[in-house]
Amino acid sequence: MRWTRRPRSRNLEDRRGERGSGRRFPFPRGGGGRAGGGRIPIPRGPGGKISIGGLALVLGLVWLMGGDVFQVLGDAALQSGVPTGGAVPGSSPGAAPRSSPEEDERVDFVSFVLDDLQETWPRLLPDYRDARLVLFRDAIDSGCGYAAAQMGPFYCPGDEKVYIDLAFFEELDQRFGAPGDFAQAYVLAHEVGHHIQKVTGVEPQVRRAQQQSPSRKNELSVRMELQADCLAGVWGHSAAQRDLLDPGDVEEGLGAAAAIGDDRLQKMATGSVQPEGFTHGSSDQRVKWFRLGLESGDPARCDTFEVARP
């Protein structure tokens, strides 16, 4: 991407020097319906770090088997060294983050992308209001509860913030084979897409529908995730129109969308695919909707809820 260093975004919260503020993980303990009892082993990546893709797969499989997803998240926290009760060990809130020159450059990049996203969307959606981006390491106390970095980037509708541990971008490159700065920009744009769903009322409507029709929970989740992919593509279209993309950037973004499809994550972890467990969409679906946004530049084309098969 053709990006330039600017002053850090006013919507960027750098909490990398913070390791928790003493709240407890909202993870119920107990049986939860898991067969066999005991702790579920979470797949790990290089260096013993819990794998984001492996954790996502385990959560999907536990959901399919009727198990306790929150129990697994608690186990993931324990296995990553994060306690499920009390403060996360480390420096106190507000401490200056440790940072290398390479990480500083990545912070400058995500700050640029965040501001560009939030300068673009008010022109497309007059009611748009800014989200905030929180950078953290390992674990974070968010408006949606405590979260471990192994869960990956996420948007919290409760406080309208995007949360990301920058180490995710290394895993996106090294584990999932999706390198490049526009691949990273796609991830941020996707999460801001979830903020757009909150602003426009899509997110609360979907949550209500999931509560009313539990059998459609996964299907509705897939449709919401694919819409966020399409909205990310709409911003990508704007970036291309403004000559911010380098040759190969579009391919980087499409590669990232394909890399984190549910089918690919399942295949990597178990060698098989279970479509009924999809919560984000297949690689082909994610590429399809991201490409639609890239090519059309029109948010109205991103209505994944009106098509029979997204």
The domain locations on the chain are 12-302
Provide, rounded to the nearest whole percent, the portion of the chain with pLDDT above 90.
63
Instruction: Return the minimum-mean-pLDDT range out of 13-27, 76-90, 186-200, 265-279.
Output: 76-90
Percent of the chain with pLDDT over 70: 75
Highest mean pLDDT among 13-22, 127-136, 274-283: 127-136
pLDDT of 66 over the 50 cut: no
Residue 86 confidence (pLDDT): 38
pLDDT at 277 over 70: yes
280-289 per-position pLDDT tens digit: 999 999 999 9
Burial level of 118, CB count in 10 A (0-12/13-18/19+)? buried
- pLDDT for 34 beyond 60: no
Residue 183 has which token pair?
């691949």
Quick check: 296 pLDDT over 70?
yes
Range of weakest confidence among 15-19, 26-30, 184-188: 26-30
Query: How high does pLDDT run on average in the chain?
Result: 81
What's the rounded mean pLDDT across residues 153-169?
Answer: 95
Identify the band that residue 269 occupies on the pLDDT scale cut at 50, 70 and 90.
confident
Q: Residue 10 — pLDDT band, cuts 50, 70, 90?
A: very high
Q: What's the confidence (pLDDT) of residue 96?
A: 65
Above 80 in pLDDT, residue 137? yes
Name the residue with higher pLDDT: 268 or 62. 268
> What confidence score (pLDDT) does residue 19 get?
61
| pLDDT tens per residue across span 81-107 | 443 333 333 334 456 677 888 889 999
The pLDDT of residue 22 is 35
Asked if the model's pLDDT at residue 193 lies above 50, the reply is: yes
pLDDT at 94 (0 to 100): 53
When comparing pLDDT for 147 and 72, which is higher?
147
